[in-house]
A = this chain, B = another copy of it.
């Protein structure tokens, strides 16, 4: 399973970066290959200063070795060996009408002293962070997420949509980071779902990513925008930074376990503003976004 999923993310990284390069039309991804001293490594691909994407990364990594102390206490286990691999991406477009997107699909194995697998699971998801809200974009993104889920289980979309709203939440601001999507973790073999079936589900979601996002980018990337709209985008990007540095388990985990800092923090937006006590005008499009972020919405009426 580990080789199968690793091969999947290697191919997925290639197809995602090549299609994003075509979409951007100007910038190409720069690749950094890195090694982890304790075992494994990764391929970081970063795009900057494109015509569409101001900054973004589509990274894969596969690491293994002794489970770090901090992970032992996090998972509530003793000393063990582990393997983890995944693809992680964040895209920050220039145009404030194009939403930021984040996605991650990962696989984890733990071993006993003899090297037998004692635990294994998938995790991941994808979520959208608009600066201006086009209902049709939100509906499109969630529809693609739901279609991928529905092929595997009738409850998955609702369950993982709710988990996503709960996870990507800036509790100190009492608002969601964005309009959500899917979030799943610890997807383990059960009577209902074998690991093979989980693999089929996770790769279905991964395969749906470009369909969920690219049409939105195409619709919005050439809309003209004002300096004020750009300022609003940069202020909202500040909330993105706050979430990633204060709440995001993956980021904090990487920072505290000696991960490759630049690969982890490629998720941070290129230009950001913090304005003291900023509030959008009542009745404005900016205020409408905040209303939706204050209370997660069911985009697909059931």
How far is A268 from B270 in the complex, measured between Cα atoms in Å? Answer: 16
A246 within 8 A of B: yes
Q: Are B275 and A272 in contact (CB under 8 A)?
A: no
| A276 proximity list for chain B (CB < 8 A) | 30, 46, 48, 55, 57, 262, 266
Complex CA gap A19/B252 in Å reads: 40
B245 touches A241 (CB 8 A): yes
Q: Which of B32, B46, B48, B245 contacts A246 (CB 8 A)?
A: B245
Residues of B within 8 A of A48 (CB): 275-276
A188 on the interface (CB 8 Å rule)?
no
Q: Verify if A265 is at the interface (C-beta below 8 Å from B).
A: yes
A271 within 8 A of partner (CB): yes
A261-B173 in contact given A242-B245, A245-B241, A273-B271 (Cβ < 8 Å): yes
Q: Which residues A52-68 have CB closer than 8 A to chain B? A: 55, 57
- Residues of chain B contacted by A270 (CB below 8 angstroms): 273-275
Residues of chain B contacted by A238 (CB below 8 angstroms):
268
**A277 near B241 (CB under 8 angstroms)?**
no
Query: Number of A residues whose C-beta is below 8 Å from B?
Result: 31
Residue of A32, A245, A266 with most partner-chain B CB within 10 A = A245
Q: A residues 201-254 with Cβ under 8 Å of B?
A: 234, 238, 241-242, 245-246, 252
Q: Which A250-294 residues sit within 8 Å CB-CB of chain B?
A: 252, 255-256, 261-262, 265-266, 268-277
Within the complex, what minimum Cβ distance (angstroms) separates A242 from chain B? 6
Closest chain-B Cβ to A44's Cβ sits at a distance in Å of 9
Measured in the bound complex, the distance between the Cα atoms of B272 and A252 in whole Å is 20
Minimum CB–CB distance for A7 against chain B, Å: 27
Q: Does A4 contact B (CB under 8 A)?
A: no
The reply to whether the CB of A172 lies closer than 8 angstroms to some CB of chain B is yes
- When C-beta atoms are compared, the residue in chain B nearest to A255 turns out to be B172
Nearest Cβ on chain B to A16's Cβ, whole angstroms: 17
Min CB distance A173 to B, Å, is 7
Interface centre among A48, A256, A265, A277 (most CB of B within 10 A): A277
Could you tell me the distance in whole angstroms from the C-beta of A92 to the nearest C-beta in chain B?
10
Q: Residue of B at shortest CB range from A264?
A: B172
Can you pick out 23 interface pairs between chain A and chain B where the beta carbons lie within 8 Å of each other? A30-B276, A46-B276, A46-B277, A48-B276, A55-B274, A172-B256, A234-B271, A241-B245, A241-B272, A245-B245, A246-B252, A246-B255, A262-B276, A262-B277, A265-B274, A266-B276, A268-B274, A270-B273, A270-B274, A271-B271, A271-B272, A272-B272, A272-B273
Beyond the given pairs A172-B261, A246-B252, A262-B277, 19 more chain A to chain B contacts, judged by CB atoms under 8 angstroms and listed by A's residue number, are A32-B277, A46-B276, A48-B275, A48-B276, A55-B276, A57-B276, A173-B261, A238-B268, A241-B245, A241-B272, A245-B245, A265-B274, A266-B276, A268-B274, A271-B271, A271-B273, A272-B272, A272-B273, A272-B274
